Amino acid sequence: MYQFITGPLLWLSFSIFFIGCFVHVALYIRGLDFQLDRIAYNTNIVSGVKAALRSIGLWLVPFGTRCWRQNPVYTLIFYLFHVGAVVTPLFLSAHSVILKYRWGIYMPAMPDVVADVLTAGVLVAACGLLLRRMLVPEVRNLTTPRDIGVLFLSVAPFATAFMAYHQIGDVTFWTIAHILSGELFLVAVPFTKLSHIVLFFCSRIQIGMDFGIKRGGVKSSGFPW
């Protein structure tokens, strides 16, 4: 079973993840209005790229935007969750060893104690996000059972990895559960709100270029707006 879930099933999961993300990006670009978006972006490419990079940068930096500064507690929880969720899988020493010996890919690895702290941070932050969805009225009204399920699905690989690393209970069970939950996460990305992994960048690029070119950024004549 282990050979199957770390072999064919893993490749299938990665295939669905990457193909699904590519399709999302392609459909997003295809959905741009030809006159209102594509002509402006192509014509003023330099100004547009600068504005797009600024838009992405400000939203990636904690408290870089007014929205982040207005919600400091949520901002800290949000960044704790996402930094741990991105950095830990990429630079976990166990993952680096697997990549090196199975596919010949070298990735730098962080100390296990750092990964452990980041994993704990993800779990704590996830609890904070769950409480926010339950207690803040404007967020609770928009929350569906599917949203809660996506949150649990996102946390499952970290919770199972934590249990396996600290040898709590049956290590073999938690290891297999960790692998399967990680693969389920990859498969779910294109079909759930987890697609924001790529759509975040699409939307920030579009909004940045929109404000940088059409809304006071570039003054040009001959455009239909």
138-179 tens-digit pLDDT: 889 999 999 999 999 999 999 999 999 999 989 999 999 999
Alpha-carbon Rg for the chain in angstroms = 21
Cα–Cα distance, 38 to 31 (Å, whole number): 10
Q: What does the pLDDT read at residue 219?
A: 53
pTM (predicted TM-score):
0.86
What is the pLDDT, as a whole number, of residue 31?
82
Where the chain has pLDDT below 50, the residues are 222-225
Structure confidence at residue 81 (pLDDT): 95
